[in-house]
Amino acid sequence: MTIRKTGKGWLLASPLVLILGFFLLIPVFAIVMVSFWGSTEYSYYPAFQFENYQFLLTSHVTLSVYLKTFMFAAITWSLCLLIGFTVAYYLAFHIRSLPVQILLFLICTIPFWTSNIIRMISWIPFLGRNGIANNTLQHFGVIDEPLEWLLFSDFAVILAFVHLFTLFMIVPIFNSMMRIDRSLIEAARDAGATGKQILTNVIIPLSKPGIMIGSIFVVTLVMGDFLTVRFMSGGQSASVGRVISNEIGLLQYPAASASAVVLLLTVLIMISIMLRFVDIRKEL
């Protein structure tokens, strides 16, 4: 009662309100507002028109770019999940001592000690036409000619994505797994469960919140990415993020804003679908 009367509650909530207001609500509002503006080849002007959306939603390019981005997201997500789950499982259940667990976990984070861009660029000498990968394969006689699709291809884009984002899958899954009471696994064994049955009946269901958090990270990161796609595809693949970045490059801010709003809505829908499957609140 006293809190309500004196307005202390508002005071206590104000830092968060101000931060979210300045750094989230106002920018998003600005983007939404600009997305209704009009533009010509050389200028843009305040207006309230649906031209940007109309162009965006009826264009074939939008559809194919979205399909491509979904493909990147789906493949990256499944590979990150496969690798992330396996690594987390190994760390959580096969390594018995805590110091070794922490050490190996830190090793997983080593790629994050350098910037994204440097990590991406470092793939280029490795995957290039005369790069280490091709040279090694040729040396051992596995291939006769250099593989062209190693670099500047969808393969390279996905490889870089997986490299960049697998840790985002490992961390939450590992966290979920560490919370599984070890006596549950003994209880399952006591009830006659085989190793595989323990995995599918106990460990996977109880790791679901971690899987879901990791999936949200990976999917949103891939959906919004433009740098990785540009570098690793050598400019040959498009993604939603690249379209926006190109529009900004051409100073087509209203069109870029409309694309951003559509992307934001798409990602929000995807997350809300994912949250339907798992209650992650108990993990937070």
Interface positions with another protein (CB under 8 A): 181, 183-184, 186-194, 197, 201-202, 205-206
Residue with tokens 């959306």: 53
Looking at the Cβ atoms of 71 and 206, the one nearer to another protein is 206
Q: How far is the CB of 202 from another protein (least distance, A)?
A: 6
Q: How far is the CB of 179 from another protein (least distance, A)?
A: 10
d(CA 156, CA 228) in angstroms, rounded, equals 9
Q: How far is the CB of 272 from another protein (least distance, A)?
A: 22
Q: Residues 6 or more apart from 153 whose CB is under 8 A from it?
A: 232, 233, 234, 236, 237
Looking at the Cβ atoms of 119 and 208, the one nearer to another protein is 208
Q: Residues 6 or more apart from 146 whose CB is under 8 A from it?
A: 129, 130, 134, 138
Which has the closest alpha carbon to 163: 84, 270, 70, 71? 84
Looking at the Cβ atoms of 145 and 190, the one nearer to another protein is 190
Looking at the Cβ atoms of 202 and 221, the one nearer to another protein is 202
> Rounded to whole angstroms, what are the CA distances from 74 to 100, 207, 262, 267?
33, 20, 19, 13
- Residue 257 one-letter amino acid: S
Q: How far is the CB of 182 from another protein (least distance, A)?
A: 9
Looking at the Cβ atoms of 75 and 202, the one nearer to another protein is 202
Q: How far is the CB of 188 from another protein (least distance, A)?
A: 7
Looking at the Cβ atoms of 23 and 277, the one nearer to another protein is 277
Write a three-state SS string for 87-147: HHHHHHHHCCCHHHHHHHHHHHHHHHHCCHHHHHHCHHHHHCCCCHHHHHHHHCCCCCCCC
> Rounded to whole angstroms, what are the CA distances from 41 to 35, 45, 83?
16, 12, 47
Q: How far is the CB of 200 from another protein (least distance, A)?
A: 11
